[in-house]
Amino acid sequence: MSTSQVLQRLYSLDASSPDFLRYLYCLIQTDEEEQYLSSLQGLELVRLVDFLDGILGVAPIVDDLFRRCLHKLRTICGHHAILPSSYILSRDLTRVGDDPVVFGGFSDLWEGTHSGIKVCIRHLRVPEQIREPVEKAFYKEAIMWKRFRHPNVVAFIGVTRNPLQFVSEWVPNGTLTQYVNKNPGANRIGLLLDVAEGLEYLHANHTSHGDLKGSNILVDSSGHARLTDFGFASVVLELSSVLGTNAPEYTSRWAAPEVLRSGDVGNTQEADVFAFGMVVVEVFTGKSPFSESTATVAASKIKDGERPDRPQDPDLTDSVWDMTHTCWCHDPAHRPTISKVVQILRE
């Protein structure tokens, strides 16, 4: 049976049919099907991405089928710069105020409302001539974020296309660094455990954050840390590449040595763990790693094997500091898994 016939057969079956799963696995697991699905255009392409999106709406998030469908959908949407209909927000999206709450190099963050709910709007500033490659990177990340549900991950709401915008849940207490500076009595170990558990969830779902740092961690109304903007570094890198500019240097303070050497996004679990060690420093100092140095000097220090000094805080125990140093191992293979980090912090 050809791939076209398999797909048409799937469209005709109810998801409860015993044949449905057999045909679905056939559709998503071989190179031949990959080539066929990537060649679809027009209404057939729209039907396919909405079909896969519908499957993700009913499949258990830890199921192998869910992961396969999710990554298949991500590949197709990134290739064609398309999104399922459920990702596109209605016109009921309004910015609040005359200025963004944060100005960025390629994007700005706005407070807004959607259907009467307070939201965060990340607006990308993209020249029309380079819109397509940026959309491809942008949509690949949107596919992943939309499906994740965890108390330590900020909820993703949807996308607008004109202009290009990510819309996510509004988290009221600002970034992790802002929060610990405003709240000297904050439970810093508890905040680190929140971050580690959010990261553990991403890693369990075969996703890396890629740009873990205090400004990409928000604190909610209950004082719990929540990850945001994972994968967004890929979009920034694509923008930098197309425009011929350098990616923002400030992220280098958190980057693993292998990432700094390659100049690529740190989309590995090992690089996330290294960055988590730098977040430990942020939480206990309220400052960026190597804050006394420029970003370029900080990057050189990391590549040369130098690491930040131990913060002088009585809540930073020897066991947590020892764990932090293992997160910073120069060899990625010698770093602990984030699950091991979670275990240490819980203890």
What CATH number has the domain bearing residue 117? Answer: 3.30.200.20
Q: Of the candidates 35, 54, 86, which is a domain's last residue?
A: 86
Residues 326 and 187 in one domain: yes
- The angle formed by the CA atoms of residues 139, 144 and 149, to the nearest 5 degrees, is 140
pLDDT at 219: 97
Q: How many domains in the chain?
A: 3
Residues 201 and 277 in one domain: yes
The type of residue at 97 is G
- 107 strand-pairing partners: 124
Whether 197 and 226 have beta carbons less than 8 Å apart is answered as no
Whether 189 and 344 have beta carbons less than 8 Å apart is answered as no
Whether 147 and 56 have beta carbons less than 8 Å apart is answered as yes
pLDDT at 6: 85
52-61 burial: b if 16+ Cβ within 10 Å, else e: bbebbeebee
pLDDT at 248: 52
Q: Is the peptide bond before 163 cis (omega within 30 degrees of 0)?
A: yes
pLDDT at 281: 98
Q: What is residue 58's DSSP assignment?
A: T
Out of 53, 194, 211, 229, the active site residue is: 211
Residues 259 and 310 in one domain: yes
pLDDT at 320: 96
Residues 277 and 304 in one domain: yes
Q: What is residue 140's DSSP assignment?
A: H
Structure tokens at 153: 């991950």
d(CA 22, CA 42): 27
Residues 251 and 232 in one domain: yes
d(CA 337, CA 270): 8
Dihedral pair phi/psi, residue 345, rounded to 5°: -65, -35
Decide if 211 is catalytic: yes
Q: Of the candidates 119, 146, 169, which is a domain's last residue?
A: 169
User: What DSSP line would sit under 169-235, residue for residue?
Assistant: E--TT-BHHHHHHH-TT--HHHHHHHHHHHHHHHHHTT---SS-SGGGEEE-TTS-EEE--TTHHHH
Residues of the chain with pLDDT under 70: 30-32, 34, 59-62, 105, 231-250, 263-266
Residues 256 and 140 in one domain: no
Residues 51 and 101 in one domain: no
pTM: 0.88
Which domain does 116 fall in, by range?
87-169
- 227 strand-pairing partners: 153, 217
